[in-house]
Amino acid sequence: MLSLDQLSLTLGTEEDSPRLLSQISATFQRGEFIAVIGPSGCGKSTLLKMIAGIASGNEEGSIHWDNRNLSDEDFNPSEFGYVPQFSIAYEDLTVGECVEYSARLRVSRQSGEERGKMVARLLSEVGIGEFHARTVKVLSGGQKRRLALAMELVSSPPILLCDEVTSGLDPRSEDEIVNLLRNVARDGNRLVISVTHSMKHLHSYDAVVVLYRGVLAYAGRPDHLAHYFRVDDPGLIYAQLESRDPEGWKASWLKHSASFLHHASEEKSKKYSASVIREVASSVCPECRLEHPSGAMYCKECGAKLRTTEDGKETYPSDSSGESHPSALSQLVTLVERRLRIFLRSKAQLWLQAGLVFGFPCLVAVFGWNGLPQIRNLGMGLDLNVIQQLTEGRDFLIQASKIGSLVSGIVMFEVILLTLMGANNSGREIAAERQIFEKEKLSGLSPTAYIASKILFLGLLSAIQSLWMGLFIHYTCAFPGDLSSQLLFLFLVNAAMTSICLAISSYMKTAEQASMASIYFVGFQLPLSGAVLALPSWLGLIARPFIAAYWSWSGILQSLRGERYYDIVVMVIQTSLSMTPLCLLVLGIHIGVGIVLAYQGCLKTRME
């Protein structure tokens, strides 16, 4: 049983802070299908988020589930499902893959065979079994809602919260989704609470909750709605709500609630309990009726979750409060596999990465395609007169200036292009999938596993980009110096920018904002590095710690020590170079700070 007692939510702690919900009290039973209706902005979605524990604001009151105070003990992630209005699936995955990955992230101790059968069963139950191999991007709106429902049912949650899952659908799809949710409530003895704007299917619900400007105006049987609000047609309720202020409706419900409160059917509850006892005793699958040995959790034939016993007490098939969740390591493996599959399946991403990896080095190599010019020695022969010596010295300085600028420029060009690749790698990585991540985090996904998966995937991408850039320039332009050191600094600057932009992505609301902020951050790398024009000393001290490009450029030029090119570069550039250990340290700090900030950004709830 779910009990809401005097629930209130305000944005802030001041007396005049906006109040989104005011003293909502109601009780719902397992097996019931509940509608939450009301005008836009009345607090319907907010109520669902309070039940799920993801509402933002100052909360008052309490929520109890099966005699547990959720203020003291939160829902286990497997105990409830939350189906938002927006799509929660990756467009490039197939329908079957989406449900399979959802199961792998939420359900432990399940073999591949059991998982496969469960996926097939769930897709069949929600009516999209024939779309198992189709990608999500080709599904209709109604089919995507069915997929979202199947993804939530993998852990057999006893509570299912649906936020406007019928909005924007055609009439037929809306009818099908409502009937499907009703069956999910009945067949699984689940409590299903659905926020909706539609008044078309009120007869399908066991109870209807009406909210008006944050107050509870009604919570009873649908066939009493018209009588309570004194209208001929339930469709006129919204207009009738405007006839009183919120406090008036609140006072009216407090006065008349005893006469209209809905009550679960005791006969239905007893009948279900009896069937549970029989099935527990015989260890029979509730779906295919196959018998199983004691202790089995999932049916080997159809993948359905079996009813079990704990300390002699029967539990419902949807009661998963005691189940362990997959470990962070298991989730990490799943996330990396999924990310690689999405990457390899996206032709646009593959072509873009191929263009960056193979195109950018060619842009750099254009400036030294035939190799770096040889440095001519000064003759300074005794047979030269003063004019000839001055002319030779002048030519040497001109040559040195060109060669030094070329070497420094090639290095900086490499570095800047790799920072641009880093921004492209991660600028959209979290922001673009933020709502999917928030939904999976709500379902028990470990933020640590999520960030670790990004580190592994983006680290691999950065390594490939940097390795090819360094090798191509080294052999095409016959670039001097220690190759291993140069490859290390190229990778570090790419990784530093990737991690910083990953952090930016974790704090931005949209992928477009994250991309723009990342590009701006890259834009400051060249002018503030001091590699082209020397900065004023005071500005260099302030800006340089934040400019990854400077430290990589400086570290790569240090790899030329022992080469004549190093002396030429030092003679030409106006910015002092930092020693190799310091460059390594600062770039390492950039990477670490980016990862920590990205992790902190992922801990914040940003579900719309």
Determine the Cα–Cα distance for residues 149 and 81; give it in Å rounded to an integer. 9
Q: What is the pLDDT of residues 380-408, one digit of tens each?
A: 555 656 675 566 566 656 666 788 888 99
Q: Is the model more confident about 279 or about 374?
A: 374
Q: How far is CA 250 from CA 59, 210, 219, 253, 553, in A?
A: 19, 11, 11, 5, 68
pLDDT given for residue 373 in this prediction: 74
Average pLDDT over residues 165-184: 88
DSSP state of 324: P
Question: DSSP secondary-structure letter at 236?
Answer: G
Q: Which pLDDT belongs to residue 111?
A: 86
Q: pLDDT at residue 86 above 80? A: no
Report how far residue 246's alpha carbon sits from residue 215's, in angstroms, rounded to the nearest whole number.
6
Model confidence at 538, pLDDT cuts 50, 70, 90, reads confident
At residue 286, does pLDDT exceed 60? no
Q: What is the 3-state secondary structure (H, E, C) of 128-169?
A: CHHHCCCEHHHCCHHHHHHHHHHHHHHHCCCEEEEECCCCCC
Q: Does 426 score more than 90 pLDDT? A: yes
Only one residue has tokens 């834009």, namely 523
pLDDT tens, residue by residue, 50-69: 998 888 888 889 999 888 88
Q: What percent of the chain has pLDDT over 70?
A: 84
What phi and psi, each to the nearest 5 degrees, are found at residue 370? -95, 15
Share the mean pLDDT of the chain. Answer: 85
pLDDT for 461-500, tens place per residue?
Answer: 999 999 999 999 999 988 999 999 999 999 999 999 999 9
**Does residue 289 carry a pLDDT above 70?**
no
What average pLDDT score do residues 316-333 get?
A: 70
> What does the pLDDT look like over 132-168, one tens digit per residue?
999 999 998 889 999 999 999 998 899 999 998 888 8
Pick the CATH number of 2-88+155-265 from 3.40.50.300, 3.30.70.1280, 3.40.50.2300, 3.50.50.60: 3.40.50.300
> In the prediction, which pLDDT does 264 show?
44
User: Which of 298-302, 365-369, 391-395 is the least confident region?
Assistant: 298-302
CA-wise closest residue to 57 among 92, 91, 20: 20
Q: Is the pLDDT of residue 5 over 70?
A: yes
Q: Which residues contact 383 (CB under 8 A, 6 or more apart)?
A: none
Mean pLDDT within 354-365: 94
Q: Is the pLDDT of residue 127 over 50?
A: yes
- Range 284-292 average pLDDT: 59
What are the tens digits of pLDDT across the range 222-239?
Answer: 988 989 999 988 888 999
Give dist(CA 519, CA 542) in Å, integer. 21
Taking residues 259-264, report their average pLDDT.
Answer: 62
Residue type, 23: Q
Q: What is the pLDDT of residue 104?
A: 94
Output the pLDDT for position 482.
94
Residue 492 neighbours by CB distance under 10 Å? 24
Domain positions in the chain are: 2-88+155-265, 328-603
Q: What pLDDT shows up at residue 310?
A: 42
pLDDT at 554 over 90: yes
pLDDT(370) > 80 = no
More confident residue, 571 or 149: 149
Q: Is the pLDDT of residue 105 over 60?
A: yes
